[in-house]
Amino acid sequence: MADLINLTIDGVALAVPKGMLIVDAAKTIEKDIPVFCYHPKLKPVGLCRMCLVEVGTPKIDPATKQIVKDEAGATVIAWQPKLTTACTTPVSEGMSVRTQSKPVIDAREDVLEFLLTSHPLDCPVCDKGGECPLQNLTLAHGPAVSRYDYADKQHNDKHAPLGDLMFIDRERCIQCARCIRFQDDIADDHVLQFHNRGRAEEVITFSTPGFDSYFGGNTSDICPVGALTTADFRFKGRPWELKTAASVCGHCAVGCNTALNTRLNTRTGVREIKRVMPRQNEQVNEIWLCDKGRYGHHFTHAANRLTHPLIRKDGALQEATWESALQLISDKLKTVPGQKVVGVIGDRLATEDAWLFGRLMTDVIGAAPAFVSPRTASAYADVARAAGLGADADFKALGKGDVIVVVNGDVEEQAPVWFLRLRQAVVDRGAKLIVAHHRSTKMHRYAAGIARFAPGAAAQWVAGQPAELAALKDARNAVIVFGDEKLSGHNARALAQSLAHALAEAGHADKPNSGLVPLYPHGNTQGVCDAVDPSRGAMPESADVAWLAGVGDPADAPRAGFTIVSELFLTPLAAAADVVLPAAAPAEREGSYTSGDLRAQRFWPAHPAHGESRPDWWAFQEVARRMGKDWSFGGPEAIFAALAAAHPAYNGLSYAGLAAVKPQWPMVGRAEVNFGGTVYDNTAGLGARTARVPVGGAAEAPVEPTLADLTRPEPALYRAGDLIRHSAVLAGRLV
Amino acid sequence: MAKHLLLRDLDIPNIREIEVYQANDGYAAWHKAVTTMKGEDVLGIVKDAGLRGRGGAGFPAGLKWSFIPKDVFPKYVVVNGDESEPGTFKDHQLIRGNPHQVIEGTALCAFAIGSNLAYIYLRGEFSEPGKALEKALDEAYAKGMLGKNLFGTNYSLDIRVHYGAGAYICGEESALLESLEGRIGQPRLKPPFPATNGLYNKPTVINNVETLANVPLIVHNGAAWYKAMGTEKSTGVKLFSVSGHVKNPGNYELELGKFSIQDLLDMAGGSSTGRPIKAVLPAGSSSPIIPAANFGAKLDYESMGTIGSVLGSCSFIFMDDSVNMVWAARKMIRFFKHESCGKCTPCREGTNWALKLYNKMLSGEGGKADIDLIADVNKQIIGKCFCPLGEFATSSMTFTLKHFKQDYIDFVEKKMGGSPEFLAELARDAHATHGGH
Amino acid sequence: MNWKTTFRKLTRIPLGFYTVLQQTLRKPVTVQYPEQTRPMVPRFRGRHHLKRYDNGLERCIGCALCAAACPADAIYVEAGENTNDARFSPGERYSQTYEINMLRCIFCGYCEDACPTNAIVLEPIEFPTGYSREAMIYTKSMLLESPPINVPATPQVTEPGKFDRSIVPFPPIDQQA
Tens digit of each residue's pLDDT (9 = 90 or more) over A699-730: 889 999 999 999 999 999 999 888 999 999 99
Query: Which residues from A are below 8 Å from C92, CB to CB?
Result: 125, 158-159, 235
Q: Give the CATH superfamily of B8-226.
A: NADH-ubiquinone oxidoreductase 51kDa subunit (3.40.50.11540)
CB spacing of B185 vs A49 below 8 angstroms: no
As a residue count, chain A comes to 735
Which residue from A minimizes the CA distance to B344? A47
Strand A257-265 relative to strand A270-278, pairing: antiparallel
Angstrom distance (rounded) from CA A71 to CA C168: 61
Report residues of chain B scoring pLDDT below 70: 1-2, 433-437
- Band of pLDDT at residue A678, cut at 50, 70 and 90: low
- Residue A146: name the closest of A180, A110, A178 by CA: A110
**Strand positions, DSSP E, B286-393:** 290-291, 315-320
Angstrom distance (rounded) from CA B213 to CA B106: 8
Cβ proximity of A17 and A5 under 8 Å: yes
In Å, how far is A449's CA from the nearest CA of chain B? 24
In the sheet that holds A166-168, the strands lie side by side as A160-161, A166-168, A228-230
CB spacing of A150 vs C169 below 8 angstroms: yes
Neighbours of B428 (CB within 10 A): 10
- Residue B205: name the closest of B81, B15, B78 by CA: B78
With pLDDT > 90 as the criterion, what percentage of chain A qualifies? 86
Domain count, chain A: 3
| Partner residue opposite A152 with nearest CB, options B169, B185, B356 | B356
Domain layout of chain B by residue ranges:
8-226, 237-320, 325-436
Residues in CB range of B93: below 8 A, 6 or more apart = B7, B9, B239, B251
Angstrom distance (rounded) from CA A422 to CA A446: 10
List the 291-350 stretch of B: residues with Cβ below 8 A of A. Answer: 337-346, 348-350
Which amino acid type is present at position A530?
D
pLDDT of residue A135: 92
CB spacing of A264 vs C76 below 8 angstroms: yes
> What value, to the nearest 5°, has the Cα angle with vertex C55 and ends C51 and C57?
50
A323 within a domain of the structure (yes/no): yes
CATH number reported for the structural domain that contains residue C80 in this entry:
3.30.70.3270
In Å, how far is C78's CA from the nearest CA of chain A? 7
pLDDT of residue A392: 81
**Is the pLDDT confidence value at A671 over 60?**
no
Which residue from A minimizes the CA distance to C62? A125
CB spacing of A111 vs B345 below 8 angstroms: yes
State the DSSP code for A75.
B
Query: Which residues from A are below 8 Å from C99, CB to CB?
Result: 266
Name the packing angle between helices A133-141 and A102-117 (round to 10°): 140
Which 3 state secondary structure label does DSSP give C108? coil
Whether the CB of C76 is below 8 Å from some CB of chain A: the reply is yes
Which residue from B minimizes the CA distance to A194? B184
**Is B237-320 a domain of CATH 3.10.20.600?**
yes
Across residues A335-347, what is the average pLDDT?
Answer: 94
pLDDT of residue A658: 96
Angstrom distance (rounded) from CA A558 to CA A552: 13
A547 within a domain of the structure (yes/no): yes
Report residues of chain C scoring pLDDT below 50: 172-173, 176-177
C62 within a domain of the structure (yes/no): yes
Beta bridge partners of B118: B77, B159
Same-domain pairing of A325 and A361: yes
A288 within a domain of the structure (yes/no): no
C168 within a domain of the structure (yes/no): no
C82 within a domain of the structure (yes/no): yes
Same-domain pairing of A582 and A464: no
| Partner residue opposite A125 with nearest CB, options C68, C93, C169 | C93
- Residue C61: name the closest of C163, C153, C139, C171 by CA: C163
With pLDDT > 70 as the criterion, what percentage of chain A qualifies? 98
A645 within a domain of the structure (yes/no): yes
Angstrom distance (rounded) from CA A139 to CA A159: 26
Residue A391 Ramachandran class (φ > 0 left, ψ -120 to 50 alpha, else beta)? beta
C113 within a domain of the structure (yes/no): yes
Whether the CB of C68 is below 8 Å from some CB of chain A: the reply is yes
Per-residue b or e along A515-550, where b marks 16 or more CB atoms closer than 10 Å to that residue's CB: bbbbbbbbbbbbbbbbbbbbbeeebbeebbbbbbbb
Same-domain pairing of A331 and A408: no
Distance of CA A632 to the CA centre of its chain: 33
pLDDT of residue B435: 41
Same-domain pairing of A534 and A617: yes
Sign of the Cα torsion C91, A219, A233, A720 reads: positive
**Is the pLDDT confidence value at A648 over 90?**
yes
Same-domain pairing of A410 and A365: no
Name the packing angle between helices B368-381 and A102-117 (round to 10°): 110
Distance between start and end Cα atoms, chain B: 44
| Partner residue opposite C80 with nearest CB, options A120, A151, A235 | A235
Same-domain pairing of A531 and A511: no
Do B and C make contact via 3 or more CB pairs under 8 A? The reply is no
CATH number reported for the structural domain that contains residue A64 in this entry:
3.10.20.740
Which 3 state secondary structure label does DSSP give C80? strand
Neighbours of A695 (CB within 10 A): 16
Angstrom distance (rounded) from CA A374 to CA A522: 10
A390 within a domain of the structure (yes/no): yes
Cβ proximity of B140 and B100 under 8 Å: yes
ipTM of model: 0.94
Which amino acid type is present at position B14?
N
Whether the CB of A240 is below 8 Å from some CB of chain C: the reply is yes
Same-domain pairing of A336 and A392: no
A223 within a domain of the structure (yes/no): no
Same-domain pairing of A482 and A506: yes
The DSSP code sequence of A197-223 is -GGG-EEEE-SSSTT--S-THHHHHH-
CB spacing of C61 vs A155 below 8 angstroms: no
In Å, how far is A82's CA from the nearest CA of chain B? 6
Cβ proximity of A255 and A248 under 8 Å: yes
CB hemisphere CA count around C82 (13 angstroms)? 31
A676 within a domain of the structure (yes/no): no
Neighbours of A69 (CB within 10 A): 13
pLDDT of residue B437: 43
Which 3 state secondary structure label does DSSP give C75? strand
Distance of CA B124 to the CA centre of its chain: 15
Beta bridge partners of A78: A57
Residues in CB range of A370: below 8 A, 6 or more apart = A343, A344, A345, A357, A358, A361, A362, A532, A533, A534, A535
- Residue A385: name the closest of A248, A505, A531 by CA: A531
- Residue A297: name the closest of A616, A590, A725, A735 by CA: A725
C153 within a domain of the structure (yes/no): yes
Cβ proximity of C154 and C88 under 8 Å: yes
Neighbours of chain A (3+ CB pairs under 8 A): B, C
Whether the CB of B169 is below 8 Å from some CB of chain A: the reply is yes
Whether the CB of A392 is below 8 Å from some CB of chain C: the reply is no
pLDDT of residue A696: 83
As a residue count, chain B comes to 437
The dihedral over CA atoms of A234, A240, A246, A248, expressed in degrees to the nearest 10, equals: 10
Give the best residue of C70, C93, C100, C168 to mutate against chain A (max A CB count within 10 A): C93
Same-domain pairing of A478 and A416: yes
CATH hierarchy code of domain B325-436 = 1.20.1440.230
Query: Which residues from C are below 8 Å from A265, CB to CB?
Result: 78
C55 within a domain of the structure (yes/no): yes
Which residue from A minimizes the CA distance to C64? A238
pLDDT of residue C127: 79
C10 within a domain of the structure (yes/no): no
Residue A84 belongs to what domain range?
4-100
CB hemisphere CA count around C101 (13 angstroms)? 12
pLDDT digits (tens, 9 = 90+) for A293-307: 999 999 999 999 999
pLDDT of residue B436: 43
pLDDT of residue A675: 61
Same-domain pairing of A462 and A578: no
| Partner residue opposite C167 with nearest CB, options A122, A240, A265 | A122
Name the packing angle between helices B127-142 and B90-97 (round to 10°): 40
Angstrom distance (rounded) from CA A565 to CA A594: 24
pLDDT digits (tens, 9 = 90+) for A3-61: 899 999 999 999 999 999 999 999 999 888 999 999 999 999 999 999 999 999 999 98
Domain count, chain C: 1
CB spacing of B437 vs A82 below 8 angstroms: no
Alpha helices by DSSP H, listed for A229-301, are 291-295
In Å, how far is B188's CA from the nearest CA of chain A? 8
CATH number reported for the structural domain that contains residue A489 in this entry:
3.40.228.10
